[in-house]
Structure 1
Amino acid sequence: MRINRTIKLTMKLYFFFFFSVFLILKVRSQDEEKKDATILIGLNYGKSFQDIFPFNDPDYLYKNQFLKIQINYLLKQNRNFSYELLVEPSLYFSEHQLLNKYFVTPGPNYIEKRERFTKRKLFKEYAINVGIVVRYRLLNNFSTYFLGSIGPMISAVDTERLKKGFAFSDVLGVGFSYKQKELLFDFRLTLRHNSNANLYFPNKGHNSIGFESGVSFEIK
């Protein structure tokens, strides 16, 4: 049963990825005014943690390792600034544990919930974020950037803070990039928040700070 669920979620991630690539290539093929428009496609790897500043909530543990497919489509460029559409299918290998059992207040089945949530859980999260990258060129091959993105995600496990299933993944980040011919080497710091907009309860959400790096290939 668990294997079948993982296969289904993985298929959804692949569907999101290929659909996103199709949309970007469609827009690019129809944009006759941007003959020099570029697409960057690559892979980032990183880790994120809840137990560091500014979050560091003593009630729970939440951390993960993740892989992100990076798709950047150049929207506009001038002398020093460029603006890019970011599409980011992601797979998170997450770990969660309730540390403060009194976070679960007395109510129906609260003893059972405390016992269940205070056990450490390993699970996967599947997300596809769409956003904007604002990049500033510091030197000829060296740039810094800010990004913001949001997108749907699927979590495979209930926690005391977030119901499993559909939710949203919100990401803010800053980073640095170094370009060498068609390759772009990247390092970034991100802040991530997961919640479901009160579609289901509970909805306290998970917060984390991530560190990631990767490489992308430029296609013109």
Structure 2
Amino acid sequence: MCKKIFFILIIVFSSMTFYAQDKLSKVKLGFDYGFGNELKNSNYTYTNSYYKLQFYYTIKQTKSFKYEVLLQPELNFAKHQLLNFYFVKPDDPNYIEKRERYTKLKDIKEYVLNIGFLIRKPIFNTASIYILGTVGPMIIDTETERLSKGFAFSDVLAIGFTFKINKIAFDIRPNFRHVSNAGLQSSNSGYNTKNIDFGFLFSL
């Protein structure tokens, strides 16, 4: 019985100690992997998987909330195909050639720098929930009927759950993503996807 009580006290003390260290630390580093696909539609398919480095910095902490900024360099691998070739209108120059080219399955790479703001609510000593919004400039390497090659933006809105085991925090983050170029180039219909991220981070 004494051994059980002693073991429980060690676990509780360890959790409280880590939580105290976490509260004092303003900087966290981590890694994230995610995947997703397009919102249901009849015009196109789009599936993606991606890797992100994560740099968190706490700008303010109150009794109930923690406010953080986030920097996420991202490499995104996507597959896209036009399903509805009527999306390319006859008044587009070379529309027949474009329909043939765009309806082929394409591999796309996207290079993104996400910049975000996060509001976190602790729910236990070792767990928290949060809301996150990011916007990021990006470079896309392949032209499609929906988006021109080159410069664009990636906007993400997410909710998340973080839980700690020893000195590592694990993260689960369902999210919605919109990609477009804000009308800076000729094609700007963009992509809308639902995704889920899995990651880990640790305090410095």
TM-score range for the pair, normalised by the shorter chain length: 0.7 to 0.9
CA shift for structure 1 position 36: 3.2
Match of 2:124, SS state, is coil
Q: Which residue of 1 aligns with 2:140?
A: 155
Q: Distance in 2 between matches of 1:179 and 1:125?
A: 31
One of 126, 130, 133 as aligned partner of 2:111: 126
Contact 2:25 2:203 in 1 (8 A): no
Contact 1:179 1:185 in 2 (8 A): yes
2:70 equivalent to 1:86: yes
Give the share of equivalent positions with the same residue, in percent: 47
Q: Which residue of 2 aligns with 1:199?
A: 184
Contact 1:163 1:202 in 2 (8 A): yes
Q: Distance in 2 between matches of 1:197 and 1:209?
A: 20
One of 90, 111, 121 as aligned partner of 1:136: 121
One of 186, 200, 206 as aligned partner of 2:171: 186
Contact 1:126 1:154 in 2 (8 A): yes
CA shift for structure 1 position 140: 1.0
Q: Which residue of 2 aligns with 1:176?
A: 161
Match of 1:138, SS state, is strand
More strand by percentage: 2
2:165 equivalent to 1:218: no
CA shift for structure 1 position 184: 1.0
Q: Which residue of 2 aligns with 1:7?
A: none
Q: Which residue of 2 aligns with 1:208?
A: 193
Q: What is the number of residues matched between the two proteins?
A: 181
CA shift for structure 1 position 212: 1.0
CA shift for structure 1 position 44: 0.6
Contact 1:133 1:147 in 2 (8 A): yes
Q: Distance in 1 between matches of 2:169 and 2:62?
A: 19
Contact 1:37 1:75 in 2 (8 A): no
Match of 2:98, SS state, is helix
CA RMSD between the two structures: 1.2
Q: Which residue of 1 aligns with 2:17?
A: none
Q: Distance in 2 between matches of 1:95 and 1:138?
A: 38
One of 39, 42, 48 as aligned partner of 2:36: 48
Q: Distance in 2 between matches of 1:191 and 1:198?
A: 21
Q: Distance in 2 between matches of 1:123 and 1:130?
A: 22
1:96-152 Cα distance to aligned partner (Å, 9 max, x none)? 000001110102100000000000001210001101010001111110000001010
2:4 equivalent to 1:38: no
Contact 2:142 2:148 in 1 (8 A): yes
Structure 2 unpaired stretches of 5+: 1-22
Contact 2:115 2:134 in 1 (8 A): yes
